[in-house]
Amino acid sequence: MKEPLLWGREEKSWEGLMMMSKKKVEKLKNTVTVRSSRMNLWMIRATTSVILWICIVQLTAFGDMWGPRVLKGWPSCFTQESAIVEFPSTQPRVLPPKRVYKNNGYLMVSCNGGLNQMRAAICDMVAIARYLNVTLIVPELDKASFWADPSEFHDIFDLDHFITSLRDEVRILKELPTRLKQKVENGFLYTMPPISWSDMSYYKKQILPLIQKYKVVHLNRTDARLANNGQSLEIQKLRCRVNFSALRFTPQIEELGRKVINLLKQNGPFLVLHLRYEMDMLAFSGCTQGCNSEEVEELTRMRYAYPWWKEKIINSDLKRRDGLCPLTPEETALALRAFDIDQNIQIYIAAGEIYGGSRRMASLAKNYPKLVRKETLLEPSELQFFQNHSSQMAALDYLVSLESDIFVPTYDGNMAKVVEGHRRYLGFKKTILLNRKLLVELIDQYNNGAMNWNEFSSAVKQSHADRMGGATKRLVIPDRPKEEDYFYANPEECLEPSEHDDTSRSTA
């Protein structure tokens, strides 16, 4: 009698267990389904986030490199507060796509002159290589000039940035392909200096056939080889893009330049004076105003010692009256006072060793006691790396010149011109462009007592009212390219339009 009852209880227990198992299985299925849904949702969100992040990075990179101002030759990442001295972004950078074109051959170039002469030449050579559809080999810098600077391209400029930032325009290689390199090393290289101030038709008709014939052509002089005017808008803007974006100094130079700028800004506004009064300048120009007889003799000997300085017999007084001499330190002091430059302003001397030393600098130091140089602002150990490398030292001065509140060159050499143009590009920053011919005439009248101080100062200011680095048209002189305005001093095709444009200098 008890066994059926026990069996019944066991059957009920088994049925209960079965029902509980089914509930657990269903619950487990529901849990798995929920977890699977959550996993899918997480994957969707993660994928969407990655895609959005990539889009943001690409838009940011292309905004920096392809922004409207870069495409139009206008500044896109330069401001008066942060131009040049900012470090490159450490974020991943999306490179522009390579330009695909049929390569017509290889162009090698050897630049000549100082830093800024070579800088402009590099811009020209990139534009020429782009126009001819050839591959450009990284330019060789001048090591045989007066300064004998052994610096290579990568010692001054950020080489990788130069190559990658222009890859959408032209292919640039660090060296020739192996087969062609061996051929060149064995002496098989067609080399020549191109004709000065030539337009692109010359390079298409004369240089391109040589490249196609010999595969490699070497241009051994590159300064002033491309005309200032008459070029297509695309070529002019590419020259600007190379100059203001692709040619970035090395991180070491940029860092030290920023340090100098910060040290100056901590003490208020500062003026950069490009006092071109070094020994080589005076020997080359023959300008000896204020020099004693021993110094005149020394400068003359130096001029005769260098055969490529063709002009040997020079009338210093006549050349000065024609405005062809750099201002002396004494003349510069008078000019700055005439412009009512605050005597408490910091004046950074962007130059090498001034000929005549403290004797010649006495008048300027008396009127403007806050004279500084990179050598006085930095420790010797910080400049040790740059010693005997004039182009690298000039690069530091270049960076500081761009950031100054006022820039005053005392001679219209290559640095004065290129910095002038770069400051125009950065928003027409104040640059006092001295009319030396008129200025020395006024100075002589003042020194001779023909004018009192107020008359002198008023005349100086009035004659320079439109020479402060504002917007203006380049002077174009047909058939006389050497006399017209330099493209890199006023790259007007790349500048923002201004309601104050002065069209009075367009032709002569």
Look at residue 20 in the predicted model and tell me its pLDDT: 47
- The overall average pLDDT reported for the chain is 85
Q: What is the mean pLDDT of residues 216-227?
A: 95
Counting Cβ atoms within 10 Å, is residue 315 exposed (0-12), middle (13-18) or buried (19+)? exposed
Among residues 317, 283, 285, the alpha carbon closest in space to that of 302 is found at 283
Pairing, β 346-349 against β 216-219: unpaired
Look at residue 107 in the predicted model and tell me its pLDDT: 98
Phi, psi for 498 (deg, rounded to 5): -130, 140
Is 170's pLDDT higher than 70?
Answer: yes
Look at residue 46 in the predicted model and tell me its pLDDT: 57
Give pLDDT tens digits for 346-395: 999 999 899 999 999 999 999 999 999 999 999 999 998 888 898 999 99
Instruction: Output 475 or 31, whichever has higher pLDDT.
Output: 475
Instruction: Output 14 or 30, whichever has higher pLDDT.
Output: 30
Give pLDDT tens digits for 304-319: 988 877 889 999 999 9
Is 62's pLDDT higher than 50?
Answer: no
Phi, psi for 216 (deg, rounded to 5): -135, 130
What are the structure tokens assigned to 436, written together?
């030396």
| CA angle at 340 for the pair 334 and 345, rounded to the nearest 5° | 95
Buried b (16+ CB within 10 A) or exposed e, 419-434: bbbbbbbbebbebbbb
Q: Is 22 helix (H, G, I), strand (E, B) or coil?
A: helix
Question: In which residue are the tokens 């949702």 written?
Answer: 41
Q: Can you tell me the distance from the alpha carbon of 124 to that of 112, in angstroms, rounded to the nearest whole number?
A: 13
Q: What is the mean pLDDT of residues 161-167?
A: 97
Q: What is the mean pLDDT of residues 282-287?
A: 94
Look at residue 44 in the predicted model and tell me its pLDDT: 58
pLDDT band at 60 (very low <50, low <70, confident <90, very high): very low
Give pLDDT tens digits for 453-507: 999 999 999 999 999 999 999 999 988 998 999 999 999 999 976 544 544 454 4
Among residues 357, 358, 368, the alpha carbon closest in space to that of 406 is found at 368
Among residues 446, 449, 508, the alpha carbon closest in space to that of 479 is found at 508
Of 87-101, 161-175, 226-240, which range is least confident?
87-101
Pairing, β 406-409 against β 270-274: parallel
Look at residue 479 in the predicted model and tell me its pLDDT: 87
Look at residue 92 in the predicted model and tell me its pLDDT: 66
Q: Can you tell me the distance from the alpha carbon of 347 to that of 264, in angstroms, rounded to the nearest whole number?
A: 9
With a pLDDT cut of 90, the percent of the chain lying above it is 73
Strand runs labelled E in 138-268: 172-173, 190-192, 216-219
Going from the C-alpha of 353 to that of each of 34, 274, 299, 361, the distances in angstroms are 79, 12, 15, 11
Look at residue 498 in the predicted model and tell me its pLDDT: 53
DSSP letters spanning 336-384: HHHTT--TTSEEEE-SSPPTTHHHHHHHHHHH---EE-HHHHS-HHHHG
Residue type, 189: L
